[in-house]
Amino acid sequence: MTTDPRQQRTPSLMGCVFGLSVLLSLVVTILLWTGVIRGPESWGPKPWGQEASESRELLERLDPAKAPDPEERARAIERIFKLSYPDVIVPAHKKALEDPDKGVRVAAIKALGRCLKNNPKLLVGKNVIGMRVTNKVHLDLILSMGEDDESPEVRKAVAEFWLDQEEFSQEGKEALQKAAAKEKDEHVRQAIQSSLDKLNSH
């Protein structure tokens, strides 16, 4: 009996289609898991309702041109972290860290510290192969501010920031050691050394 070649191709074609669909599903799952793309929960403000709306309004208050009072901007970043709306919290934090007023920058550092201490998984996670994903947090800015910010108050806030960050203890030690080598202000040097001593004792 002769087999119709079309009958042989049909199962093979179906197998290819099934394999491709499984592969596509796996790729989408990995991308969602690692945060490269975001799921439906982040496509709009509906799942968060009032928190999303308030967070976006507060984001506007971080603009010095719209909110000249630095205390208002400091309160805005603190409230944004309490609301913890993901689509706003990261860009808001970057804007506050770059604020021209030292008080706002200090408020942003302290707000992030409290947030990570109470809910580290909000901004830090692991990717599909178990490596930490830290690009959601502006640690690069905080690292540079600990060494180069013009304000001693800001550099002291950075030194104290590392105390409660178990997720970043190694980064904290390295950052504090570099900052200590450059620091000229005695009060900041004391804060750096105190934080280093506590981190090394853990």
Q: What is the pLDDT of residues 167-193, one digit of tens each?
A: 778 888 999 999 999 999 999 999 999
154 pLDDT above the threshold of 60? yes
Q: What is the pLDDT of residues 88-114, one digit of tens each?
A: 888 898 999 999 999 999 999 999 888
* Lowest-confidence region among 39-48, 137-146, 150-159: 39-48
What b/e string do you get for 130-162 counting C-beta neighbours within 10 Å, with b at 16 or more? eeeeeeebbbebbbebbbebebbbbbbbbbbbb
Q: What is the pLDDT of residues 37-84, one digit of tens each?
A: 444 444 444 445 788 899 999 999 999 999 999 999 999 999 998 888
Mean pLDDT of the chain: 79
The predicted pLDDT at position 5 comes to: 52
Kindly report the pTM of this predicted structure. 0.70
The predicted pLDDT at position 39 comes to: 45
Domain ranges of the chain: 45-127, 138-202
Provide the percentage of residues in the chain whose pLDDT is more than 90.
Answer: 43
The predicted pLDDT at position 42 comes to: 44
The sign of the CA dihedral 89, 90, 96, 99 is negative
Q: Which residue from 42, 47, 158 is spatially nearest to 97, judged by alpha carbons? A: 158
